[in-house]
Amino acid sequence: MGAQPLTLPRAFYDRPVLAVARDLLGALVDRRTVEGTVTLRLTEVEAYDGAADPGSHAFRGRTPRNATMFGPPGHLYVYFTYGMHWCMNAVCAPAGTAAAVLLRAGEVCGGRQLARSRRPGVRAERDLARGPARMTRALGVDRSLDGTDLVDPTAPLRIRPGRPVADDLVVVGPRTGVGGDAAAYPYRFALLGEPTVSPYRAAARRPSLPDSAHARRND
């Protein structure tokens, strides 16, 4: 993993997902709609290593929801979570391997006004796309973009190379909100000192239910 510029579309093919994740730092995302275009620079991503990764949606095999992950690289995988949030990934590696990079945070560097209109109530500039669900909201991304070809020049959402990022600016650590056996995997990549990097949160611990909650009613 070096500081070589991201070259597309080859960037998503035949490379370990960790290398793709690292090189997506600093890359530019363009989201085009009739209202205009929002551009952001990626500052934080997480790798999900397909069926081998207990933290990945693909770990338990292919389902209707994660089908895009199993498809060809260079496409967008969008999923819905917590009853209200969308998150987006760049699918990489050959079809069938289901590796993807979750795009977690970015710095809005174009279409600021449009991004703000999609994120009413946000005060600080850095909070516009500071977190995966905030990012999709700022960009106007939902399920309709699942499967988008990221390297098609006419696509409504594209990823293109940004300025190369030196290794000493890359921070690696455990993924946010991932628990279980994969909790410690160092699959999270962020840019050092960037205010747009989302705060780290350990996986939510499920409170253990009192025994009475498990007791069967027998009346």
Which residues would be at the binding site for DNA (CB under 7 A)?
46, 48, 55-58, 60, 63-66, 69, 80-85, 87, 89, 100, 102, 119, 121-122, 127, 131-135, 137, 175-179, 198-199, 201, 204, 206
The least CB distance from residue 116 to DNA, in Å, is 12
> What letter does residue 130 receive in the DSSP assignment?
B
Query: What distance in Å separates the CA atoms of residue 172 and residue 11, rounded to the nearest whole number?
Result: 20
The least CB distance from residue 140 to DNA, in Å, is 14
Report yes or no: 104 and 200 within 8 Å, Cβ to Cβ.
no
> What letter does residue 50 receive in the DSSP assignment?
G
Q: Which is nearer to DNA, 3 or 80 (CB)?
A: 80
The least CB distance from residue 154 to DNA, in Å, is 26
The least CB distance from residue 83 to DNA, in Å, is 3
The least CB distance from residue 33 to DNA, in Å, is 20
Q: Which is nearer to DNA, 31 or 57 (CB)?
A: 57
Q: Which is nearer to DNA, 5 or 71 (CB)?
A: 71
Q: Which is nearer to DNA, 153 or 199 (CB)?
A: 199
Helix (H, G, I), strand (E, B) or coil at 101: strand
Phi-psi region of 167 (alpha: psi -120 to 50; beta: other; left: phi over 0): alpha
Alpha helices in the chain (DSSP H): 17-24, 112-118, 132-139, 211-214
Query: What distance in Å separates the CA atoms of residue 68 and residue 61, rounded to the nearest whole number?
Result: 12
The two tokens of residue 18 are 């960790």
Query: What distance in Å separates the CA atoms of residue 121 and residue 119, rounded to the nearest whole number?
Result: 6
Q: Which is nearer to DNA, 199 or 210 (CB)?
A: 199
